Structure 1
Amino acid sequence: MKQWSREIEINTPIEHVWSYFDGSLEQMQKIMPQVAENKPVRITEEVVGSIYRQKYKEGKRIEEYDVHTLEYANNQKDKKMKIGFTLANIFEITALYELHRINDQKTKLKYTVTNKALKWFAKLFMLFATEKIVVKFLEDVKKVAESEA
């Protein structure tokens, strides 16, 4: 299993940044344009345990998987969401988004991803995996959030 973790400061209020993670599909697609669908399968009152069926477009292929909410906190100064899903029966992935209010106009976003290979050939692929995708994702969130602020 590999894990990557990075953080970035975004010059936008925490509620605005949070709207990309805990909002509508339209908001989510601004930072994750490959997500084609995100439909609730099971919603729990405490959010943890909720499941969404997500469709992800990669080129012409569409992958479908269930996204499980594993952790959730929505407080004034700190917000957190951890999700988990299995991609194509090959990778078990978790993504943790942690937001911290620095001040009224600045937010710190920490993004932590784990990727566990479930098949032997995927383990070979993992040897060459880098944090490049994590860094790009954070930069994309910053760019979108600050452009809309």
Structure 2
Amino acid sequence: MLIWNKERVISVNIENVWNLFSDENLQRIMPNVVEHTPIEKKEGIVGSTYRQSYKEGRRVETYIVETLGYENTEFKKHLHIGFTLGKAFEIETAFTLIKIDETNTRFIYSGHNKGINFLGKVMLKIAGDKNNNKVVQDFMDRVEEEAMEETASV
């Protein structure tokens, strides 16, 4: 199983960063997500499901994403999602934003990727922590870049 928990301070207001995690803006921070369609939106958000398609090279994987946790207050924003990818991986990720002040936000990205069958377990061993750390770092960089761009255009 691969586990990550990384954080950084982004010099952008919490609301501008949070806006990037909305359904309308998701592709800005996850450009390989080519479809994100609500299946069922629940009151309070937790339990909502979405059909999501992810393109890697020429291959497109479609899976169902479920919202497992959600918080949206003035000082803290949190989104926890889970999905099964290719019948081989169980993935959960959480995005937490904490307001430091009007122009700074602590961004915490955590999660795990667990192989749920022999193939998934082998593939995770081959991929290793180094590759996973690069994917996590690249995602955090993209969120920060898009947040800075969002602020510049306001």
**TM superposition score category, shorter chain reference:** over 0.9
Query: Which residue of structure 1 aligns with residue 106 of structure 2?
Result: 108
Mapped to 1, the partners of 2:3 and 2:139 lie a distance apart of 15
Query: Which residue of structure 2 aligns with residue 129 of structure 1?
Result: 128
Compute the TM-score of the two structures, normalised by the length of structure 2: 0.91
Mapped to 2, the partners of 1:129 and 1:50 lie a distance apart of 31
Structure 1: runs of 5 or more not aligned: none
Identity within the alignment, %: 39
Query: Which residue of structure 2 aligns with residue 91 of structure 1?
Result: 89
CA contact (8 A) 2:20 2:26 kept: yes
Give SS of 1:45's match: coil
Mapped to 1, the partners of 2:49 and 2:135 lie a distance apart of 24
Whichever structure has more helix as a proportion of its residues is 2
Compute the TM-score of the two structures, normalised by the length of structure 1: 0.94
Deviations 1:21-79 (A, max 9, x none): 1341xx11111101111111111001000000011111111111000000000000001
CA contact (8 A) 2:42 2:48 kept: yes
Query: Which residue of structure 2 aligns with residue 31 of structure 1?
Result: 29
Question: Which residue of the other structure, out of 121, 141, 144, is the alignment partner of 2:143?
Answer: 141
Note the aligned Cα RMSD (angstroms). Answer: 1.1
Mapped to 1, the partners of 2:36 and 2:119 lie a distance apart of 29
Mapped to 1, the partners of 2:122 and 2:57 lie a distance apart of 23
Say if 2:39 is the partner of 1:8: no
Mapped to 1, the partners of 2:119 and 2:41 lie a distance apart of 35
Deviations 1:76-107 (A, max 9, x none): 00010100000010100001000000111111
Mapped to 2, the partners of 1:78 and 1:23 lie a distance apart of 19
CA contact (8 A) 2:23 2:36 kept: no
Alignment of 1:44-83 (within 5 A): 44-83=42-81
CA contact (8 A) 1:5 1:134 kept: no
Shift of 1:121: 2.5
Q: Which runs of structure 1 show a deviation greater than 3 angstroms over 4 or more consecutive aligned residues?
A: none
Mapped to 1, the partners of 2:36 and 2:97 lie a distance apart of 22
Query: Which residue of structure 2 aligns with residue 43 of structure 1?
Result: 41
